[in-house]
């Protein structure tokens, strides 16, 4: 236990090096995002946008918006899914998502009734994808029943499959699965929660 008090340990000595400041980290991160975009290796860009329904995660490939996620879906888990299914080259890079963020902000203040964004549907396939393709045809401020969408998708008996297509919609809000309701007049389930679905329908009814 005999130590020489005047001599600091190496760790103490090097603790005198300044911690990396947040400014430097932000600057370098932005530089990395720009360089990755230039180099064509920014496979998945993401950012969040604040809405009355909490922070929404937005993610885009070079094809377009690929994922919108509510906080209740757990953004870290969603990013891991994107890493597993699209590419692990996932980086916070707001620039690619500026337009999507702006349109979503406009939507939530009632100034936008349809989205004009390139969409990447690679996260859904088969009948689910066919269902999702029908949804933008449901006009803003109106609703359609699961049964009607099943018929429009070419399979009137597939009402439950329409339900699961909506429940697994990778692009909620933008692809308006919230406008699909039950035939008995109740609003049904929603990936963002029933309250969120009600909020969106109320917002659209008021506009």
Partner 1 sequence: MGHQPFEAVVQRYGSTVLRVCRAVLGPAAADDAWSETFLSAMQAYSTLRPDSNVEAWLVTIAHRKAIDQVRTQARRAVPTANVPDRPTTHGQPGGWESDLWAALKDLPLKQRETVAYHYLAGLPYAEIATILGGTAESARRAAADGIATLRKTYLQPPHDRDAEGEAS
CA separation for the pair 203, 200 (Å, rounded): 5
CA separation for the pair 23, 45 (Å, rounded): 21
The pairs formed by 150-159 with CB atoms below 8 angstroms and a separation of 24 or more are 153/127, 154/130, 155/127, 158/127
Smallest CA-to-CA distance from 68 within 131, 115, 35, 31 is with 115
Q: Which is nearer to partner 1, 13 or 95 (CB)?
A: 13
| C-beta separation of 201 from 95 below 8 A | no
**Residue in 1, 2, 3, 7 binding partner 1, rule: CB under 8 A:** 7
Q: Are strands 54-60 and 44-51 parallel, antiparallel or unpaired?
A: antiparallel
> Binders of partner 1 among 60-99, rule CB under 8 A?
79-80, 82-84, 87-92
Q: CB 73: neighbour CB atoms within 10 A?
A: 17
The site string for partner 1 over 27-56 (x = CB under 8 A, - otherwise) reads xxx-xx--xx--x-x--x-x----------
Q: Nearest approach, Cβ of 99 to partner 1 (angstroms)? A: 21
- Report if residue 139 touches partner 1, rule: CB under 8 A: no
Q: Which is nearer to partner 1, 75 or 129 (CB)?
A: 75
**Annotated catalytic residue: which of 57, 175, 177, 203?**
177
> Binders of partner 1 among 107-126, rule CB under 8 A?
none
CA separation for the pair 25, 21 (Å, rounded): 7
CA separation for the pair 136, 151 (Å, rounded): 15
- Report if residue 10 touches partner 1, rule: CB under 8 A: yes
Q: Nearest approach, Cβ of 49 to partner 1 (angstroms)? A: 17
CA 57: distance to chain centroid? Answer: 4
- Report if residue 3 touches partner 1, rule: CB under 8 A: no
| C-beta separation of 56 from 63 below 8 A | no
**Residue in 1, 2, 3, 21 binding partner 1, rule: CB under 8 A:** 21
**Residue in 8, 54, 141, 156 binding partner 1, rule: CB under 8 A:** 8
166 tagged catalytic? no
Question: By the criterion CB under 8 A, which residues form the site for partner 1?
Answer: 7-8, 10-21, 24-25, 27-29, 31-32, 35-36, 39, 41, 44, 46, 79-80, 82-84, 87-92
State the catalytic residues. 177
């Amino acid at each position: 236990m005999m130590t020489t008090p005047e001599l600091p340990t190496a760790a103490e000595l090097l603790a005198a090096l300044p911690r990396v400041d947040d400014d430097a980290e932000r600057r370098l991160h932005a530089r990395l995002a720009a360089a990755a975009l230039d180099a064509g290796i920014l496979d998945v860009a993401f950012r969040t946008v604040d809405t009355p329904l909490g922070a929404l995660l937005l993610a885009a490939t070079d094809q377009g918006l690929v994922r919108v996620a509510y906080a209740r879906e757990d953004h870290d888990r969603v990013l891991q899914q994107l890493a597993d299914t699209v590419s692990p080259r996932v980086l916070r890079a707001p620039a690619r998502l500026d337009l999507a963020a702006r349109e979503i902000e406009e939507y939530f203040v009632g100034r936008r009734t349809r989205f004009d964004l390139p969409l990447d549907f690679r996260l859904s396939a088969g009948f689910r994808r066919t269902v999702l393709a029908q949804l933008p045809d449901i006009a803003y401020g109106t609703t359609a029943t699961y049964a009607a969408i099943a018929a429009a998708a070419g399979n009137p008996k597939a009402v439950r499959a329409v339900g699961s297509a909506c429940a697994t919609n990778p692009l909620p809000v933008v692809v308006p699965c919230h406008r699909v309701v039950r035939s008995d007049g109740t609003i049904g389930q929603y990936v963002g929660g029933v309250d969120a679905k009600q909020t969106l329908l109320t917002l659209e009814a008021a506009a």
